[in-house]
Structure 1
């Protein structure tokens, strides 16, 4: 099969495979239905302060796996729903930032600087339209870069890099994430080390369970979904409840000034394109690097837009260019973050973590260079799934173009949901979803244990994302190192052969040594 054959096979699999409803020649497939449902759910979740896309993805993943099972037909519906949430939540996060000056996520803080002043001037509808236009443009551009770069990068790595080079590249990625995420390199390295340690419990190629302490529970290995959801979601819920207890008298958000119902003309859209172009390029470049995230992208995009701006209303006082700059940048991160996830198997952000977790839990799709292997004599089913996933991302973008602005305007009332009611409900749903997926109370206990551990990590300043990425990469890293060691004839210096592998290791050490300079650069940005 050629490249075009695989692309067409992926499109057909996404749009007509696994039909949910068939009316004559018209077929509504489960993957399309799930990506639409995920997008609408994501916009709803993103519009509620205190919730985010990873919250919804964490709650949905165990339920989706239980509903669709572990067959290959479940891959596209499950990942389509998660992709829909990822895209919808990015769009919905601008609603509370603009209408009520409440950033639902850290990167939405930059949107409040110009979005809320516009809402106070009676231009909330225009501000929402600007946010939607910039967000979907940046997201679409980032997805196009993903579609082109992920296969090219994976094929290049498969052709030119051996086992030792791939192992060194994973070590470099872990070092980079440890340094970039968090307040200092020591805490980042500690988080990575703890992630590798926890992942080593009862796993590996040894004939006996490791680090099980004689416990039958640990001998079976820690379930991945409860560990990750506990760290990422339950810890955030518990931290949010603790914050509510400390701050019981927080002021309520004021309603925006009545809107003048002004939309966004084509001339105004054309005027925003230079700002969107620069910001989405920055966001795409930042998103392709594991672990940096959309907060830095939003800050850099906003800074670049402010330097370009020559209009009568300065940045920070309610100019559409300010909203467009940060929304295009943080939305462009989402697609680019999947470049290392799909081509290397290295998650770039939390959303990518859940996509990889879904793929590995269901089976039949292992993100990495082997996915994009174009075989002529036989069909590569993983490549069909990859192009099917790309098709679903296009469907989500088309839905965003068509309905995103209208849907955003309908969600202002969600801001009034009290967090002291919302957070316990989310916690209950999370506990239920994990129990439904695993069917064992031990999964819930492990979920709560790692939720408390995540709280302790947050309060002590130890970043959680490096822990999670290290936990995900531990198994492929160990397998690659073992295979490289065996292939070298048990040479203890197998990682120092050639040029690329030693260069990655030297660069990993250099990143740690110069971590202070990197953080200073991020603060300056």
Structure 2
């Protein structure tokens, strides 16, 4: 079977899968409903300061697994829901940034610089429309690049990289992620080292569990959901509760809801925005394809490059960036939204997560089973069907379905969920805490998993207090198993040669690049 046959099968798996109900004889699949539900939830989560897409994905994943189980039929409904949250949260983050001067997500901080001034001038609806159009445009562009690049990159990796080269590539990826995330390369390496250490508990191919300290509950290692949710979610909740204790209950900003006669965007209003949207979409896609950098940097670069162009081309009476320029919103929202699709390029072609949202997509793939992200996903197997390729194109279909929902109902729902920004943190954080622990118990059904989650939550809290980013820890925890398996196989395939990384020119190049990345970023930090 050819690649187009797999594309068609992936499309059919989404729209002709398990039927939920029918409308006038037209069957509506469960996957379509899950994408819709995830997308609407994502917008609401993004519009709520204090929440974020990865947080909602973390809580939803164990609950979804308990509902759908671990069969291959659960893959697309569960991943579709998570993709919907990921895309909806990016769009929704602009709502409180514009209406309340409070970014719903870190990516939307730059949106406040022009969105809030436009609201104060009575152009809140226009600002929301600009944010929606720019976000949907950047997201669509990024998804197109994903579909074109991920299979091509996977084929290159499968063709030219053997086990030693793949081991070197994983080392380079971990070093790159640890070096670029956070304010300190040393702290990034510490975070990565802690993740590798935690993942070594009771793992490997030995019969005797290692590093368990004689504790029976650790004989099978730390549950991956407990470790990741504890460090990312519970740690953040602990830190914010401490901030509330010493800073008091923060009042939410007041919206400026005056009407504007020019809230609609016609071609005359969209045409000046297109160069900013196009440039930021390219910037965000390029940054999203690199593991570990994230959408906050994309938004910053998109805004700064747009500001430089705007100052050279704007009319004398037009507002500058930071004074209520629609171009500023367009540049920011197109950049941070275009990261979401490109983040899956390293996930599907290399099995390497690039940000927190991609972490939970990989976690869902590993939990359900039957899909191993990496070069083998896009391998044609003669006349047979590559099930993993079918699932990959089904995943692409859910992403475009979410984009279609964004273009059609996303803007309307954005304007409805502005009330979510009024929920105070002292009510929100306890709910997040309890829902996270409930989700862990639903999946693990063990009190030991709850205590492990709280323990990793304390670790995540201490890491934040010491200004150590937890994301390298999480990514290292996920990649450690793949790194160890690949290194063991390479060691065995080369006749137990301990210097297998230095015998292959490509593997040696990856090792050298690993050292160069760390040293270069250390020198940059010292300067």
Q: TM-score by structure 2 length?
A: 0.97
Q: Distance in 1 between matches of 2:95 and 2:171?
A: 39
Match of 2:83 in 1: 83
Q: Distance in 1 between matches of 2:130 and 2:252?
A: 26
Q: 1:501 to 1:10 in 2, by over 3 A?
A: same
Q: Give yes or no for the alignment of 1:448 onto 2:454.
A: yes
Aligned counterpart, 1:410:
416
Question: How many Å separate the matches in 2 of 1:412 and 1:190?
Answer: 39
- Could you tell me how far apart the structure 2 residues matched to 1:345 and 1:499 are? 23
Q: Distance in 2 between matches of 1:103 and 1:361?
A: 32
8 Å CA contact 2:252–2:424 kept in 1: the answer is no
Partner residue, 2:186 = 186
Distance 1:446-1:390 versus aligned 2 partners, 3 A rule: same
Shift of 1:249: 5.5
Aligned to 1:74: 74
Instruction: Give the equivalent residue in structure 2 for 1:8.
Output: 8
Corresponding position of 1:265: 266
**Compared CA separation, residues 518 and 352, structure 1 to 2 (3 A):** farther
Matched position secondary structure for 2:284: helix
Tell whether the 8 Å contact from 1:342 to 1:368 is kept in structure 2 after alignment: yes
Give the 4+ runs in structure 1 shifted more than 2 A: 22-25, 249-252, 516-521
Instruction: Show the counterpart of 2:146.
Output: 146
Please give the residue correspondences for 1:485-504 in structure 2 after superposition, counting only pairs within 5 Å: 485-504=491-510
Instruction: Give 1:25 deviation, angstroms.
Output: 4.9
* CA apart distance, 1:389: 0.4
- The 1:320/1:23 distance shift into structure 2, 3 A limit, reads closer
TM-score (norm 1): 0.97
Between the aligned partners of 1:307 and 1:24, the Cα distance in structure 2 is 54
Q: What is the CA RMSD across the aligned residues, in angstroms? A: 1.3
Equivalents in 1 of 2:58, 2:98: separation in Å?
26
C-alpha distance in 2 between matches for 1:31 and 1:266: 35
Per mean C-alpha deviation after superposition, the further-off stretch among 458-467 and 20-29 is: 20-29
**Distance of 1:68 and 1:411 partners within structure 2:** 29
Shift of 1:252: 3.7
Q: CA deviation at 1:255?
A: 2.0
Q: Secondary structure at the match of 2:260?
A: coil
Counterpart Cα distance in 2 of 1:4 and 1:223: 39
SS in 2 for 1:281: helix
Output one character per residue of 1:308-329: Cα deviation in whole Å (capped at 9) or x when no partner.
Answer: 1122210000010000001100
**Aligned-partner Cα distance in 1 for 2:215–2:108:** 45
Distance in structure 2 (CA, Å) of the matches to 1:251 and 1:393: 36
Q: Assess, with a 3 A threshold, how the Cα gap between structure 1 residues 169 and 32 changes in structure 2: closer, same or farther.
A: same
Aligned 8 A contact 1:135 1:327 in 2 = yes
Structure 1, unaligned stretches of length 5 or more? Answer: none
Equivalent residue number for residue 167 of structure 1: 167
Q: Tell me by how many angstroms 1:497 deviates.
A: 2.1
Comparing 287-296 with 238-247, greater Cα deviation is found at 238-247
Say if 1:180 and 1:518, in contact at 8 Å, map to a contact too.
no
Q: 1:408 to 1:519 in 2, by over 3 A?
A: farther
The answer for the alignment partner of 2:205 in structure 1 is 205
Asked if the contact 2:92–2:104 (Cα under 8 Å) also holds between the matched residues in 1, the reply is: no
Q: CA separation in 2, counterparts of 1:493 and 1:227? A: 33
- What displacement does 1:122 show? 0.3
Helix, strand or coil for the counterpart of 1:398?
helix
Unmatched segments (≥5 aa) in structure 2 = none
In structure 2, the residue matched to 1:113 is 113
Aligned-residue offset at 1:272 = 0.6
SS in structure 2 at match of 1:410: helix
Partner of 1:99: 99
CA contact (8 A) 2:164 2:504 kept: no
Distance 1:21 1:372, change over 3 A: same
Equivalences for residues 327-476 of structure 1 within 5 A: 327-476=333-482
Counterpart of 2:104 in 1: which secondary structure? coil
- Report the Cα distance in structure 2 between the residues aligned to 1:492 and 1:418, rounded to whole angstroms: 56
**Residue 126 (structure 1) shift:** 0.4
Correspondence for 2:304: 303
